[in-house]
Structure 1
Amino acid sequence: MSWWAAAPAVAAAVGMLLLPGAIVVLPLRMGLVARAAVSSLTSIALIGFAGVVFALGGIGFAAWQPFVLALAAGGLVAVIDRRRTRLAVPAEQSRWRWILLTWAVTAVLIGVVAFSGVASPDRVSQTYDNVFHMSAIAAILDGADASSLTLRTLIETAQVTGFYPAGWHSLVVSVVQLSGVVPTVAANAAWLAVAVAVWVPGAAWLAQVILRQFEPGLVAVVSIPLAAAFGSMPYSLLSWGTLYPTFLATSLLPAAVAVPILAGRALGGAQGLRRWRVLVLGSSAIVGTVSALTFAQPRVLVSLALLLSPLLIGAVVGLLRASLRAGGAARRRAIWSIASGGGVLALAAAAGFAYLVLGLGLFDRPLDQRLGGPQAAATQSVAEGIWQGLAQAWPTGVGGVVAAPAVLLAGFVLVGIGAALRSRGVRWVVVSYVAVVVLFALAAGSDDVVSKVLTALWYKDRYRLSSVAPVLGVTLAALGILMAGRRLQRRARWAERRGVLLPVAATWLVTSTAVVTLVLTGATGSIATVFHLPPARAQTEIVSQAQIDFMARLGDVVPADQRVLGDPWDGSAWTQLFGDREPVFPHVNGQWDAARLTLAYGLDTIETDPAVCAALDELRVRYVLYNPHEFAGGDPAGNHFPAPHRAVEAGLFTEVAADGESALYRIDQCGPLPGEG
């Protein structure tokens, strides 16, 4: 399948990301970039709420459902606002054509970096986390609900409820429904659509919000291409993980940072009845922002708090100082605010500490023994991590590959940091950016207790942290380019005559060199590695093409109402994805019910233990799928499915289909399933 054939799927994904939210924000006055950023943020919230609301009514997820909620929410916004409130930067005046052209070229660049090494859009990321994500998408398409309140029950099978954010999975399902493509194509189309329609306008809008000293249209034209230039976002979360929900939430993060900033500004400048309207709209926008991140990946809320903390702390300190200097009633209110705020913080800290101790067992084992695993182990020095952050030479997560430094991009980020430190009201951006880079360096370069505590909320995962840096990195790079252009125009007559051409030309020089660097030295090759599909006999991959073809024929043998048993580490977790038959184990890790545990550890005792047949009857299983390999070479700590291997290798079952690589076996010892005899 060619990538051009995936264009309808990409268009469907872009439509789902922009149109439901656009209905809601239609009454509000805002520019093109702001409207796109806020629409995508709102759409994810609507998709998440639709999954929950309609599941409660017993209705399976469908692409039309977010639009129903959008009409209701849009009506409320129209009633409250009546076109009197502006919660966004001014419109980009006459530059919208240049913005659209810049946006289109940037989309092509992102596609080249991400997928030029991937032969076909139907390839699947063969990574640990994606075993669950693709299984969840297949389950929703096959009738399971898309509620974030129950999605985790797919791998916690003894539970009735279990929260897992379903925003990404519901988006991919809607793409399948609208375009008719297979889920693997839909997932790749959705990734590209999120990068282009969520991450890019969000990063540009945040730059507009922060860089108020420059014309918004010029800021947009400069910052849009820069959103494609950083290796750590959007590309690293495609090659590492693959962390699709975290990628979706991080793509929303720039707009999520911009919303409370603008809400605070609008509230500070409003009076009378208009202040009430601003308060309602601003509060609703913040609630919607938090909801969107929650349905995408709530862990990213911690990143939002990290990025906004310097700004909020500075604002609170400034207000308190002004009140204390004013004296009288204002001074008394300030003292009361300090006391009450300190009390609230103390209670919150106490509650958080109690949760760590009682809920997470903080003292059950030493801190230095926590946060193990490949994502947490230090593989370099802290100094190397700092250098990578300064040089924009980010690790890709595959085979120790680190992209070569993006010299021009790194230089303009540093220029932007210098300019921000001299600009009142922008210094917090530097503090936040430096904090992210330092935390990344600690996660990648240190295994001591302090580093684990500081990075625990990101699982001590360097890639989750590095992906946050470009949220403000785009703004800093844009500031560096714009300030350099302004200074050059002041000093040279030839530069003054060229107006906006200098910063735009500099932007494309920076972006193109960074993109070439990523294609030749880092991101593209690493993404191609995780999307590699061997024609036959997978070794470290989850599946081969031959295995996919074999699973596609499962329906010829296995009845539609039966599950297929197998070791998920050999690819059988994806029988529903490729063969339309539900697997007993849809992920390589989970908290399984008693019947599944019986099969995982005792299937080979089927001829002596009646509990095995009882478990097979309960789960409606009479077939075992087997392929002699283990994804990623196996994991001794995670391979909890020994019995299917032992049973097949002992010759206990009847082979009914084989292709020389995979084999399907029928279980005859238990007779027909109840109700089929």
Structure 2
Amino acid sequence: MEPVLIAAVLVCFVVVFAPGYLCLQGLLRRHDVAFACAPLVTLPLLTLLGVAFDAAGASLPGAALFGAALLAGVGLGAAGQLSWRARGAHARPRFSPAALNLPPDLGKFLALYALAALAVATVVLLVNLDGASSFARRDDSTVHLSYVRAFLDTGRFSTLSASSFLDAGSPGGYYPAAWHVVTAVTASLLSNNVALATNALAVVCIAAVLPWGLCLLHAALFDHDRRTLAWGALVAVAFSAFPWSFLVKGQLLPNLLSFSLIPATMFLLVASVKTRRGEGKAELALLTFAGVVAIALCHPNGVFALGIWAVAFLASAVLCSQAPALRSKPRRWALAACLIVGACALWYVCYRLPFFQGVVGYEQENVLTLPRAILGGLSFMFAKWGGLQPFLSVVVLLGIIDTVRKRRLRWLSVSFAAALGIYVASAALSGEVRHILSGFWYTDHYRTGAMTALFAIPLAALGTSCLAAFFTSLAQKAQRRLQTQKAAPGDAADVQRRGETDGAAEGRGGARASKGCRIAGCLATLCLFGVVQFLPGSIPVSDQMISMGLPRIATSLKALYSWDDIYTADEQAFVQEALARIDGESFVANVPQDGSAWAYGTDGIDVLFRRCADNGSNDLPPETNELIRTRLDKAATDPAVQAAVRDYGIRYVLLLDEASGTDRTVTDKRYTPENWAGIEGVTEETPGFKLLMSEGDMRLYEIEAADAPA
């Protein structure tokens, strides 16, 4: 990892965790719990403060917004302390972590989860970045980077008025922009380097937010099972479908942050249910609500994913309850059934709400047949054939079997099965059933597959623990066999009898394997994980090439973040030089597919077309948009074009790959040549255009007609 990226990650870490921790350390007895849950408070604070400042008409730097969030965190923490003191309680609230069976050395497990996640992130992502400020050449990235840049350019950080064209006076509209606000605040502390801040936040999500939330959840679910809690660190970020596919597809960066917050929120829900009244139950419920708000502000579909997990857990809690009012088994089943039916009814009501119609009605092409979708889900490939993860398939199956024995954890398997069904519906079904089940995720099999992978992580932790125990038992048997062979004939029978006695006691949980056997079991599990998860190469199966999931993700990320493709390093250098030659107040006409769609988000040049769409996706009237794209080269003679460039402040033309070039680095994403004939038709001989810069097949022109009198 480059030093500049390390510094950026540390800055982003402080932005994401500091305000929330300052608030929660005054409300919770455990500093480790407060720290791990901090993002659930930080994100609503930053987002709501951004809305408040914008509503007040205040424009401010991102660093000032962060300072306000820090002060708000301190104020809320102090208010919580004063509230408890006013009620005659102790200086700290009565939240009792003992009710959750959290280990006293939870901080060590948090460190283990972070280190394991960082190790996987290094192999999959960090070594494949083409520099700290590289970025993924993906279509959705143009929008996300532009939103962040617009926040920085205007000093407006409101989720109610988000737009790629805030800098041009666009009023914007509602968009779940918590990810964009956090990235903008981080970028403001990094010399407005949006790409660097984006990479830093991705690392913080994958190496801190997600694994720490999972660590808390595992600690609450697995009680005193330290072995399973520790093995959970190994699988926290091992699934290619989540978190890694969100960096390959889209990119779906807001969804990455949204899903990363789910485990910590789920932990708070579990804590609020397990904690007795008078021990912070109400406060934990309030923090759970804050987590739901944080998830919704990043991406609303995360709330529906959380809802599936939450309903399964609550129904299980009802069925396993020992409360006096629920001692009757029929009453428990009736209440659990009412909970599930009510949740399904609420789901359908949301499906019918006008607010969600643009999402649930979104149609995506089916990519798999039903059998392949089921097989792909069970093998954790999820998307198209290619990213096999057999180690995870085995340990998840072992985890499911383990939950059959542990009644209180069966809801983990039930919720996993529900998510798998939603994934299959999104990947293989059609009609309204598909939209009802998976519409909240845009019927996108990548998102539903990611949800299924998230739900599989606790099962994988259980299964990996079982696998390690199996290898340990094999080591024990091998050790006994060696002892029997080395013993004298008279002692061999005694050794054998002791082994049989120890084996029987082990089956009852009364024997403990030797340290050497436990180490051997751990090493065998780690080696199997490393070999199977990171096995290089591909295997031809039918008409497809099958490879392991994480190596395939790593290969994809290396290509996506390369400065040799689409928006190249030379083109960025040309754009940065062009910024010194233009007035900074006028629009620059461009062809987005030549890489310039990313130029506003990464470098701040005011290109007119900021997405690889048929019309470039901007706020111009449709007829003006088409006029510029198809007839701009006629600016010297066409009065309509002259009026358009004057009225909308279009003064320059940027071409990063001339149409006549022989070594073009472009994308064909939604590209039709005739849609851009007016811009690509501009050459050095075109009347009405003045060449300002030229290098290779890159050109910057000034539109002389922009200065012509009306």
TM-score range, shorter chain: 0.7 to 0.9
Q: Give the match for residue 365 of structure 1.
A: none
Note the 1:128-147 alignment, pairs <5 A: 128-147=139-158
Q: Which moved more, 1:12-21 or 1:317-326?
A: 317-326
- Does structure 1 conserve the Cα–Cα contact (< 8 Å) formed by 2:112 and 2:233? no
Q: Give the match for residue 544 of structure 1.
A: 568
Q: Which moved more, 1:481-490 or 1:43-52?
A: 481-490
Q: Give the match for residue 309 of structure 2.
A: 307
Q: Is the aligned partner of 1:633 residue 2:664?
A: no
CA distance in 2: counterparts of 1:39 and 1:638, whole angstroms: 49
Change (3 A) 1:115 1:405: same
2:204 to 181, 184, 193: 193
Q: Give the match for residue 389 of structure 2.
A: 405
Q: Give the match for residue 74 of structure 1.
A: 77
Which digits, 9 at most, give the CA deviation of each residue in 1:53-100, with x for residues without a partner? 233341323232321221222223323454233275444324644652
Q: Which moved more, 1:644-653 or 1:424-433?
A: 644-653
Q: Is the aligned partner of 1:8 residue 2:7?
A: yes
- Does structure 2 conserve the Cα–Cα contact (< 8 Å) formed by 1:371 and 1:456? yes
Q: Give the match for residue 127 of structure 2.
A: 116
- Does structure 2 conserve the Cα–Cα contact (< 8 Å) formed by 1:207 and 1:220? yes
- Does structure 2 conserve the Cα–Cα contact (< 8 Å) formed by 1:238 and 1:527? yes
Which digits, 9 at most, give the CA deviation of each residue in 1:401-428, with x for residues without a partner? 6223332x32221111111122222111
Q: Residue 184 of structure 1 aligns to which amino acid in structure 2?
A: A
Q: Is the aligned partner of 1:667 residue 2:703?
A: yes
Q: Give the match for residue 497 of structure 1.
A: 514
Q: Give the match for residue 422 of structure 2.
A: 439
SS in structure 1 at match of 2:251: coil
Which digits, 9 at most, give the CA deviation of each residue in 1:483-522, with x for residues without a partner? 5666858249985333975775566345434542458741
CA distance in 2: counterparts of 1:389 and 1:462, whole angstroms: 10
Q: Is the aligned partner of 1:383 residue 2:383?
A: no
CA distance in 2: counterparts of 1:520 and 1:346, whole angstroms: 38
CA distance in 2: counterparts of 1:345 and 1:485, whole angstroms: 39
Compute the displacement of 1:604 (Å). 4.4
Which digits, 9 at most, give the CA deviation of each residue in 1:1-43, with x for residues without a partner? x624321111111222222211111124465763343112222
How many aligned residue pairs are there? 639
Note the 1:559-574 alignment, pairs <5 A: 559-574=583-598
Q: Residue 371 of structure 2 aligns to which amino acid in structure 1?
A: A
- Does structure 2 conserve the Cα–Cα contact (< 8 Å) formed by 1:24 and 1:70? yes
Compute the displacement of 1:668 (Å). 0.9
Compute the displacement of 1:135 (Å). 1.7
CA distance in 2: counterparts of 1:249 and 1:136, whole angstroms: 17
Change (3 A) 1:335 1:592: same
Change (3 A) 1:182 1:672: farther
- Does structure 2 conserve the Cα–Cα contact (< 8 Å) formed by 1:106 and 1:224? yes
Compute the displacement of 1:334 (Å). 12
CA distance in 2: counterparts of 1:638 and 1:55, whole angstroms: 41
2:291 to 289, 292, 295: 289
Q: Is the aligned partner of 1:174 residue 2:201?
A: no
Q: Is the aligned partner of 1:556 residue 2:580?
A: yes
Q: Give the match for residue 127 of structure 1.
A: 138
CA distance in 1: counterparts of 2:94 and 2:666, whole angstroms: 55
- Does structure 1 conserve the Cα–Cα contact (< 8 Å) formed by 2:693 and 2:699? yes
Q: Residue 641 of structure 2 aligns to which amino acid in structure 1?
A: V
SS in structure 2 at match of 1:5: helix
Q: Residue 459 of structure 1 aligns to which amino acid in structure 2?
A: Y
Q: Which moved more, 1:661-670 or 1:142-151?
A: 142-151
TM-score by length of 2: 0.79
Q: Give the match for residue 225 of structure 1.
A: 234
2:612 to 582, 585, 588: 588
CA distance in 2: counterparts of 1:450 and 1:157, whole angstroms: 42
- Does structure 1 conserve the Cα–Cα contact (< 8 Å) formed by 2:359 and 2:442? no
CA distance in 2: counterparts of 1:342 and 1:404, whole angstroms: 36
Q: Is the aligned partner of 1:210 residue 2:221?
A: yes
Q: Give the match for residue 694 of structure 2.
A: 658
Change (3 A) 1:167 1:387: same
CA distance in 2: counterparts of 1:241 and 1:381, whole angstroms: 23
Q: Residue 133 of structure 2 aligns to which amino acid in structure 1?
A: D
Q: Is the aligned partner of 1:100 residue 2:100?
A: no
- Does structure 2 conserve the Cα–Cα contact (< 8 Å) formed by 1:18 and 1:197? no
Compute the displacement of 1:249 (Å). 0.8
Which digits, 9 at most, give the CA deviation of each residue in 1:372-391, with x for residues without a partner? 4xxx3233323223223323
Compute the displacement of 1:552 (Å). 0.7
1:278 to 277, 281, 286: 281
Change (3 A) 1:203 1:631: farther
Q: Is the aligned partner of 1:528 residue 2:558?
A: yes
Q: Is the aligned partner of 1:512 residue 2:530?
A: yes
Q: Which moved more, 1:517-526 or 1:198-207?
A: 517-526
Q: Residue 6 of structure 1 aligns to which amino acid in structure 2?
A: L
The RMSD of aligned alpha carbons is: 3.9
Change (3 A) 1:250 1:555: same
- Does structure 2 conserve the Cα–Cα contact (< 8 Å) formed by 1:584 and 1:596? no
CA distance in 1: counterparts of 2:582 and 2:31, whole angstroms: 52
Q: Give the match for residue 473 of structure 1.
A: 456
Q: Give the match for residue 272 of structure 2.
A: 263
CA distance in 1: counterparts of 2:14 and 2:173, whole angstroms: 30
Q: Give the match for residue 40 of structure 2.
A: 41
Q: Is the aligned partner of 1:414 residue 2:397?
A: yes
- Does structure 2 conserve the Cα–Cα contact (< 8 Å) formed by 1:135 and 1:587? no
SS in structure 2 at match of 1:145: coil
Q: Residue 513 of structure 2 aligns to which amino acid in structure 1?
A: E
CA distance in 1: counterparts of 2:267 and 2:185, whole angstroms: 28
Unaligned runs of 5+ in 1: 363-369
Change (3 A) 1:552 1:389: same
Q: Residue 383 of structure 1 aligns to which amino acid in structure 2?
A: P
SS in structure 2 at match of 1:585: coil
TM-score by length of 1: 0.83
Q: Is the aligned partner of 1:599 residue 2:598?
A: no
Identity rate, percent: 20
Change (3 A) 1:656 1:484: closer
SS in structure 1 at match of 2:448: helix
SS in structure 2 at match of 1:426: helix
CA distance in 2: counterparts of 1:7 and 1:624, whole angstroms: 37
Q: Which moved more, 1:296-305 or 1:593-602?
A: 593-602
Q: Residue 497 of structure 1 aligns to which amino acid in structure 2?
A: S
CA distance in 1: counterparts of 2:341 and 2:367, whole angstroms: 40
SS in structure 1 at match of 2:231: helix
- Does structure 2 conserve the Cα–Cα contact (< 8 Å) formed by 1:33 and 1:220? no
Higher relative contact order, structure no. (Cα contacts within 8 Å, ≥ 6 residues apart): 1
CA distance in 2: counterparts of 1:37 and 1:394, whole angstroms: 30
- Does structure 2 conserve the Cα–Cα contact (< 8 Å) formed by 1:158 and 1:592? no
SS in structure 2 at match of 1:93: coil
- Does structure 1 conserve the Cα–Cα contact (< 8 Å) formed by 2:359 and 2:439? no
Larger radius of gyration: 2
Q: Is the aligned partner of 1:624 residue 2:624?
A: no
SS in structure 2 at match of 1:655: strand
Compute the displacement of 1:350 (Å). 5.5
Change (3 A) 1:471 1:349: closer
Q: Which moved more, 1:487-496 or 1:425-434?
A: 487-496
- Does structure 2 conserve the Cα–Cα contact (< 8 Å) formed by 1:252 and 1:293? yes
Which digits, 9 at most, give the CA deviation of each residue in 1:270-329, with x for residues without a partner? 1xxx27x532x13421231122112211222121122223233455678899869879xx
SS in structure 2 at match of 1:565: strand
CA distance in 2: counterparts of 1:33 and 1:477, whole angstroms: 24
Q: Residue 534 of structure 2 aligns to which amino acid in structure 1?
A: V
Q: Residue 404 of structure 1 aligns to which amino acid in structure 2?
A: L
SS in structure 2 at match of 1:623: strand
